[in-house]
Amino acid sequence: MSHPGRGIACVLLVGSLSVAGIAHEGSPEPPPRARTPGFDAPPPGSYELPPIQRLSPHRLLDERGREAPLLELEPGHLALVSFIYLSCGHACPRTTAVLQGMDRTLAERGLAGRVELVTVSFDPERDTPARMGAHRAALAPRGRWRFLTARDPASIDPVLADFGQDARLLLGPDGEPGPLISHVLKVFLVDSEGAVRNIYSTGFLDPRVILNDLLTLEPVGAAPAPPASAASPS
Partner 1 sequence: MALRRITAALAALALAGGPALADETCQSPYLPKLAGQEDYVYVWTLGIEGVGDGSDKLVTVRTNPSSPHYGKVVHSLSVGGRHEAHHAGLTDDRQYLWAGGLDDSRIDIFDVGSDPAQPTLWKTITDFEEETGGVVGPHTFYAIPGRMLISSLSNTKDRGGKTALVEYANDGTYIRTIWMPEGAEYGYDVRVNAHLNRMLTSAFTGHENYMRKLSDLLGDADAMKKFGNTVVVWDFHARKPLQTLDVPGAALEIRWALNPIHEYAFTSTALTSKLWGVFRKPDGSFEAVDLIDIGDPAKVPLPVDISLSADDSTLFVSSFMDGTVRVYDVREPRRPKLIHEEKIGSQVNMVSQSWDGKRIYIASSLLASWDGTSGDDPQFLKAFTWDGKTLTPTFEIDFRKEGLGRPHIMRFGQHGLMARAAVTGDARGRDH
169-188 binders of partner 1 (CB under 8 A): 169-172, 175, 177-178, 180-186, 188
Burial (Cβ within 10 Å: 0-12, 13-18, ≥19) of residue 161: exposed
Q: Which of 75, 157, 219, 220 binds partner 1 (CB under 8 A)?
A: 157
User: Does residue number 190 form part of the binding site for partner 1 (CB under 8 A)?
Assistant: no
Beta-bridge mates of residue 189: 80, 198
User: Does residue number 58 form part of the binding site for partner 1 (CB under 8 A)?
Assistant: no
Q: How many CB atoms lie within 10 A of CB 193?
A: 15
The piece of 62-70, 73-81, 131-139, 158-166 that touches partner 1 (CB under 8 A) is 158-166
For residue 229, the 8-state DSSP code is: G
- At 220 the three-state DSSP class reads coil
User: Does residue number 18 form part of the binding site for partner 1 (CB under 8 A)?
Assistant: yes
User: Does residue number 1 form part of the binding site for partner 1 (CB under 8 A)?
Assistant: yes
Radius of gyration of the chain (CA): 20
Q: Restricting to residues 82-101, which ones interact with partner 1 according to CB under 8 A?
A: 88, 90-91, 94
Cβ-based nearer residue to partner 1, 20 or 222: 20
User: Does residue number 211 form part of the binding site for partner 1 (CB under 8 A)?
Assistant: no
Whole-angstrom distance, CA of residue 20 vs CA of residue 23: 5
| Residue type, position 227, single letter | P
Q: How far is CA 150 from CA 157, 165, 179, 191, in A?
A: 10, 15, 18, 22
Cβ-based nearer residue to partner 1, 13 or 137: 13
Cβ-based nearer residue to partner 1, 18 or 59: 18
Q: Restricting to residues 28-57, which ones interact with partner 1 according to CB under 8 A?
A: 28-29, 31-33, 35, 37-39, 41-42, 46-48, 50-53
